[in-house]
Amino acid sequence: MPDLSHLRADFPILHQQVSGHPLVYLDSAASSQKPRQVIDALVRYYERDNANVHRGLHELSNRATAQFEAVRTQVARFLGAESPDEIIFTRGTTEGVNLIAQVWANHFLRAGDVILTTGMEHHSNLVPWQIAASRCGAVVKYVPVLDDGTLDLDAMQALMAEGDVKLLSCVHVSNSLGTINPVADICAWARARGIVTLVDGAQSVGHMPVDVRAIGADFYVFSGHKLCAPTGIGVLYGRRQLLATLPPWHGGGEMIDSVTLEGSTFKDAPARFEAGTPDIAGVIGLGAAMDYLETIGIDIIHQHGRELIHATMEKLSEVRGLRVLGPPLPAERATLAAFTIDGTHPHDLVEYANTKGIALRGGHHCTQPLMRRFQVPGTSRASFYFYNTHQEVDRLVEVLHQAVKFFS
């Protein structure tokens, strides 16, 4: 087990008391904490280099532009993309999905076409497709989720074989089940049928090795804030050949080639999809976060997470009336566990844990159809990152035992 506890010193926020107890932060699937290195990068940018990018000829603008574009190259390498031109900066996963659901769908989707997604998607990978489909008379179909929290892959292939599927959008790692979907297989099946693919990487990037070309996705989206970067910055990876076929999204500065009163022409990707002044500080923060993670090693982070969730699953099974959603051991799971406890509502449990200094998430986790599928009103979720420790898992389980006693 890699011991990463020394890294906690890099996270100022972790060293505080909540409700009179040391903070145990178990909500990283909602948003990760930020190391000093990322916070310092933001301060350094604002104190030394702040200027708009791509327009000035002055020193500060040159510096800001160089750092901004260096991160694009860094992200391309981090994801295994072919070129930095395939990296579009967005506000986050949600914006990345919406960009494709609007630009691609407006351009290519026709009445009667099918968008295929799954029953375990976050609302951000469901609602944009419902909106896009309703605009043009297309249909959204959903791959069912099996009792063990995995996708019904036979049903998925059968749906693809029906012939009208134009795009498949699927989550890499479920935020509610911890399921790791075989996205490389899924994208290969889709590609064989000429179906465009989008993979939601909100819970995977920064937690496990991700190589977009090995996966074979046409589009891959994620948010920076779940991997130690600031909120408000995200990435849409798009395969170059496909981006070249898409019209612009937002119009404005930065994305144009030339503008006359009669009309305008547009730059190629990525600028074509980045109208207006971008979140420069956010991008620089994302670069610092990726530097930080690569210094630790994504493989090490992945290994740490696997061992932590394995221990968590074993210890949770000792809590009376507790049921974890998603794949049971020894299946591969992401570093999160969402669970129900008989007779104790998630919000009461999360409230109880909060008074012990433990930050959990309670509710439907923006996956209401999935909650209905498993007939639960919601779940309590503990989610981990590399700064979490086995002692924190023990503390969680201790408090869960107390809570069961308190509420039953």
Partner 1 sequence: MAPSDDLLALYQQVILDHSRHPRNQGKLEGTGCLHARGHNPACGDEVDVWIQVGPQGQVEDIKFEGQGCAISQASASLMTLKLQGTSLDTARALLADFHALLSGQGQVQHEDALGELRALEGVQKFPQRLRCATLASKAVEQLLAASPAQHAIQEHPGSPSAL
Task: Residue 264: name the closest of 278, 250, 251 by CA.
Answer: 251
Residue 19 or 391: which CB sits closer to partner 1? 19
Residue selected from 133, 199, 202, 371 as contacting partner 1 according to rule CB under 8 A: 371
Choose which of 20, 163, 263, 330 interacts with partner 1 (CB under 8 A): 20
* Residue 377 in contact with partner 1, rule: CB under 8 A: yes
391 lies in the site for partner 1, by CB under 8 A: no
Which listed range, 8-16, 89-97, 298-306, 344-352, lies at the site for partner 1 (CB under 8 A)?
344-352
Q: Examine the residue annotation and report whether 187 is marked as an active-site residue of this protein.
A: no
91 Cβ neighbours under 8 A, 6+ residues apart:
232, 233, 234, 279
What's the token pair of residue 66? Answer: 């160089």
Q: How far lies 137's CA from each of 114, 142, 160, in Å?
A: 10, 17, 19
Kindly tell me which of 19 and 277 has the beta carbon lying closer to partner 1: 19
Least distance (Å) from partner 1 to the CB of residue 150? Answer: 24
276 near partner 1 (CB under 8 A):
no
Supply φ then ψ for residue 49, to 5 degrees. -120, 0
C-alpha 27/C-alpha 60 separation (Å) is 38
**Between residues 227 and 338, which has the closer beta carbon with respect to partner 1?**
338
Among 211, 351, 391, 394, binds partner 1 (CB under 8 A): 351
Residue with smaller CB distance to partner 1, 122 or 166: 122
- For the bound state, the minimum distance from the C-beta of residue 371 to partner 1, rounded and expressed in Å, comes to 7
| Phi-psi group of 400: left, alpha or beta (phi > 0 → left; psi -120 to 50 → alpha; rest → beta) | alpha
In this complex, which beta carbon is closest to partner 1, that of residue 17 or of residue 245? Answer: 17
Pick from 54, 345, 390, 401: which binds partner 1 (CB under 8 A)? 345
Work out whether 392 is an interface residue with partner 1 (CB under 8 A). Answer: no
Take residue 240 and report the two structure tokens written for it: 């170059």
Measured in whole angstroms, how far is the alpha carbon of residue 125 from the centre of its chain? 11
The smaller minimum CB distance to partner 1, of residues 191 and 401, is found at: 401
Q: Supply the DSSP string of 21-43, one letter for each residue.
A: EE-EE-BTTT-----HHHHHHHH
Which segment (51-59, 104-112, 213-221, 340-348) binds partner 1 by CB under 8 A? 340-348
Lookup: tokens for 7:
């890294």
Whole-angstrom Cα distance, residue 229 to residue 252? Answer: 26
Residues 6+ apart with CB under 8 A from 44: none
Q: Which residue has the tokens 């989206």?
A: 221
CA distances 360 to 12, 114, 302, 353, Å, are: 19, 37, 21, 7
Given a contact cutoff of 8 angstroms between Cβ atoms, the answer to whether 128 and 101 are in contact is yes
Binds partner 1 by CB under 8 A, chosen from 123, 240, 364, 390: 364
Count, residues near partner 1 per rule CB under 8 A: 21
Q: Is 343 in the site for partner 1 (CB under 8 A)?
A: yes
355 contacts partner 1 (rule: CB under 8 A) = yes
Does 266 contact partner 1 by CB under 8 A?
Answer: no
Question: Near partner 1 by CB under 8 A, which window of 10-18, 147-155, 361-369, 388-396?
Answer: 361-369
Which range touches partner 1 (CB under 8 A), out of 246-254, 258-266, 329-337, 356-364? 356-364
* Distance of alpha carbon 144 from alpha carbon 124, whole angstroms: 18
> Which lies closer to partner 1 via its Cβ, residue 220 or residue 352?
352
Exactly one of 83, 134, 241, 402 binds partner 1 (CB under 8 A); that residue is 402
Residues 302/294, Cβ–Cβ less than 8 Å = no
Active-site annotation, residues: 366
What residues make contact with partner 1 under the rule CB under 8 A? 19-20, 343, 345-348, 351-352, 355-356, 362-364, 368, 371, 377-378, 402, 406-407
